[in-house]
Amino acid sequence: MNKEVEIAIIGAGASGLMLASLIENKKNILLIDNNAKIGSKILISGGGKCNVTNGNIKSHNYLGEQRFVRNIIKRFDQYNLLKWLSKRGLKPTIRTRNQYFCKNSAKELVDIFKAEVSSKAYLLNTKVHRVDKISNQFEISTSRGTVVAKKVIVASGGLSFPKIGATSIGYDIAKSFGHTVNTLSAGLVGFTVQPEQFFFKDLSGVSIDVKITIDKKEVKGALLFVHKGVSGPAILDASLYWSKGKISIDFLPILSIDTLKSSKKYISKTLGLPSRVAKSFLKVLEIEDKASNRLSHEEWRKIETLKNYSFSPAGTFGYSKAEVTKGGVSTDEIDASSMMSKKVENLYFLGEVLDVTGELGGYNFQWAFSTAFVCAKGLN
């Protein structure tokens, strides 16, 4: 198969589908994806309901160059997105942390995209091997032949969820054209722990509210103890800002230790933690479970370490469990007004493949949609 098109979009995920939906129908467009179905990652996100955006989006919710993020988000923010979806019959519902989800299932969003791109051509089950530029056009080598295009948009996503076809092709293309690809790692992912924290595994399935500090960044939310270590929304957000070294967890974020010292209740009952968690910490701290007012000064000093429990994660659960990929194509080399490469004319990069990563809660989908909108405005 040899095919010639005006615009080739590599990736039929959130950013690629949004872009194809926004480009004028008169354009000759081809979507290329290695999955058998479009929107595979959309369908499994948010527990199958897809957290499309967040009601409170600011640039500081993203790890990346702040001015670049701000310039793109302001051109197509959450309100623009919700309005666009509403016109097509989808009115997401708000759940925790201002997150907007599809009312019934993520299929509602994918169905909208299917309708929007029905007039466009796409190649599914097609692996992209490489992209070359010859004169003023690109040659895309695929598992089903060569595609020639005037413009190429790389919207292939990151390395997370390899089971649904995630590959490094977007980064490979960027590197082949001389782009800087900043260090890649799993993001929004759980932490494995050191031997000193192996007792966490005995608490598997228990969730508690915590405050986590990494350098100067602070995140709050639920921590979930799991058999590999720790996960949950607070940990996933914390993983965005951690690369190595220590993190600090406040396991008693709303508790003042001084208010407990005169209590006649057993300390395991006054800490405000689930019984399993409280007793496990007391065992590790070598404190007998007794009336709070009977604890010694040294025992209270140990209890206070729960307000600032510092340890170094052994690592993360990796890409197979990660929501997103941190790092990516350097935004210094991308034009924020069009998403076009500053190095190669008519080559564009969107969404997760860029070195911008959002926190948990709809921020990464919004980034995908916002970058697609900016790109579409330029292409149209």
For 266-324, write each residue's pLDDT tens digit. Answer: 999 999 999 999 999 999 999 999 999 999 999 999 999 999 999 999 999 999 999 99
Question: What was the pLDDT predicted at 164?
Answer: 85
Delimit the domains of the chain by residue range: 2-186+318-379, 191-316
Report the alpha-carbon distance of residue 117 to residue 58 in Å, rounded. 30
Report the alpha-carbon distance of residue 340 to residue 331 in Å, rounded. 10
Query: Token digits for 7?
Result: 């615009």
Question: What was the pLDDT predicted at 216?
Answer: 87
Based on its alpha-carbon atoms, the radius of gyration of the chain, rounded to whole angstroms, reads: 24
For 218: left if phi > 0, alpha if psi spans -120 to 50, otherwise beta; the answer is beta
Counting beta carbons within 10 angstroms of the beta carbon of residue 193, is it exposed (0 to 12), middle (13 to 18) or buried (19 or more)? Answer: buried
Q: What is the DSSP string of 324-367?
A: EEEEEE-GGGB-TTT-BBSSSTTEEE-GGGBS-EE-TTTHHHHH
Strand 324-329 relative to strand 217-226: parallel, antiparallel, unpaired?
unpaired
Would the CATH topology of 2-186+318-379 be identical to that of 191-316?
Answer: no
Distance of CA 68 to the CA centre of its chain: 18
pLDDT along the chain (380 residues), means of 10: 90 96 89 93 92 96 97 98 97 91 96 93 95 96 96 96 90 98 98 96 96 94 96 97 96 93 94 96 96 95 96 96 97 98 98 97 97 95
Residue of 272, 220, 203, 212 whose CA lies nearest to 242: 212
- Architecture of domain 2-186+318-379 in CATH? 3-Layer(bba) Sandwich (3.50)
Question: What was the pLDDT predicted at 66?
Answer: 97
pTM of this structure = 0.94
User: Which residue is associated with the tokens 């070195």?
Assistant: 355
What 3-state DSSP class applies to 282? Answer: helix
Question: What was the pLDDT predicted at 116?
Answer: 94
CATH class of 191-316: mainly beta
Phi and psi of 74, rounded to 5°? -65, -20
